[in-house]
Amino acid sequence: MSIWEQIDQPTLLINETVARANIACMLQRAQSKGVAFRPHFKTHQSAQIGEWFRDLGVEKITVSSVEMAEYFADHGWKDILIAFSMNPRQTKRINALARRVHLGILIENMDVLPPIYLFGVEPLDVWIKVDAGSRRTGVDWQDKKGIHELCEVVNRIPRLRLTGLLTHSGHSYHAGSLKKVNKIFREGVDRLNQLRDELEAAGHSGLKVSVGDTLGCSLCEDWSGIDEVRPGNFVLYDAQQAKEGSCKVEDISVALACPVVAKHPERREVVVYGGAIHLSKDNLEVDGKLSYGLPALPSGEGWGAPIPHARVDRLSQEHGILWIPGPEFEQIAIGDLVFVLPAHSCLTVQAMGDYLSLSGEKISTFNKKAE
């Protein structure tokens, strides 16, 4: 039985060959620039996919929650950074995890330190989360007094290892041009290095600079002043990344297979079983209009290039409404599968919980363990 015959509901497919190539490419990029590689696993969320990294010698990883750190620790990862600001309600879990692995945490406020001091007994790497311009979270890079005070207090707690300064320039995704992406990426790096120089002059030596975001790491060539990179989305990529130019559409290693349940020729619309609870409502522009992914047709043992000018026009909970203006509309029959390259693969993985490889193998994530 072919893989297509196994699918009767929205199913997240992964092309292992493409994903492994993406991993190898980003690892080689980091190695060629002499920068430590600590990939973010929040995108793929899978112990099995994590092994594809380990096959290439990756030993250090980033995660986005204590729960995810516990999951990957259970699967043998020994050097983990939780790239989410310290949640004091989870101090005891963090302490228990630090008994098992070399653990790093982020802080941006002084108030999280008393719980660590009172309830923690295990050594921890501590990174200062810096807002270098994204305005999401972190200590403002211009708040030099506040950052200096944080470093001073961390250094007074013997089991805490003040490790460095960390940022994520997520605002680069709205830059609109390669020149602006480069500017934002370098701006973040340069601001952290300015802070590092000032902190070292004040006696805080040996601090590292860690930056993330797939867009910057894929497109920018100047990595000077960087000690560590933490991209995550690159293992899968997605339609947003392809639009921004950080990958080609053939580098996107996931697609949501959606059964066709209705057609409306007068509107050139195809209705699929695959809605907001499968794809999320992240979007991109196609010909100046919003689309919740890029529709594609089957091709060989996978999917083909996105259908020209087609878009995922609307989503409700279970329904996806695809607008197919060209001759591909006539090629699609009720009961067929149409594939949607997700606008944002991270949230699609979160929504779906597992993958099906093109060889028919189920791959689980920490949200949906293998049955």
What pLDDT band is residue 118 in, cutting at 50, 70 and 90?
A: confident
225 domain residue, yes or no: yes
What pLDDT band is residue 121 in, cutting at 50, 70 and 90?
A: confident
8 A C-beta contact, residue 209 and residue 165: yes
C-alpha 173/C-alpha 155 separation (Å) is: 35
Report whether pLDDT(369) > 70. no
117 domain residue, yes or no: yes
Among 231, 258, 289, give the residue marking a domain's end: 231
- Does 190 share its domain with 256? no
- Does 169 share its domain with 304? no
Among 231, 264, 291, give the residue marking a domain's end: 231
Report whether pLDDT(252) > 50. yes
- What is the number of domains present in the chain? 2
- Does 223 share its domain with 261? no
Host domain of residue 267: 3-11+248-364
8 A C-beta contact, residue 51 and residue 21: no
Report whether pLDDT(308) > 80. yes
- Does 226 share its domain with 354? no
pLDDT digits (tens, 9 = 90+) for 205-237: 999 999 989 999 999 999 999 999 999 999 999
Secondary structure of the chain as H, E, C letters: CCHHHHCCCCEEEECHHHHHHHHHHHHHHHHHCCCEECCECCCCCCHHHHHHHHCCCCCEEEECCHHHHHHHHHCCCCEEEEEEECCHHHHHHHHHHHCCCEEEEEECCHHHHHHHHHHCCCCEEEEEEEECCCCCCCEECCCHHHHHHHHHHHHHCCCEEEEEEEEECHHHHHCCCHHHHHHHHHHHHHHHHHHHHHHHHCCCCCCEEEEECHHHHHHCCCCCCCCEECCCHHHCCCHHHHHHCCCCHHHCCEEEEEEEEEEEHHHCEEEEECCHHHHCCCCEEECCEEECEEEEEEECCEEEEECCCCEEEEECCCEEEEECCCCHHHHCCCCCEEEEEECCHHHHHHHHCEEEECCCCEEEECCECCC
What pLDDT band is residue 371 in, cutting at 50, 70 and 90?
A: very low
116 domain residue, yes or no: yes
- Does 253 share its domain with 124? no
Residue 286 pairs with which residues in a beta bridge? 289
33 domain residue, yes or no: no
C-alpha 300/C-alpha 204 separation (Å) is: 57
237 domain residue, yes or no: no
pLDDT digits (tens, 9 = 90+) for 57-88: 999 999 999 999 999 999 999 999 999 999 99
Tell me the angle at which helices 144-156 and 178-201 cross, rounded to the nearest 10 degrees. 50
What is the CATH number for 97? 3.20.20.10
C-alpha 6/C-alpha 1 separation (Å) is: 7
What is the CATH number for 285? 2.40.37.20
Percent of the chain with pLDDT over 90: 87
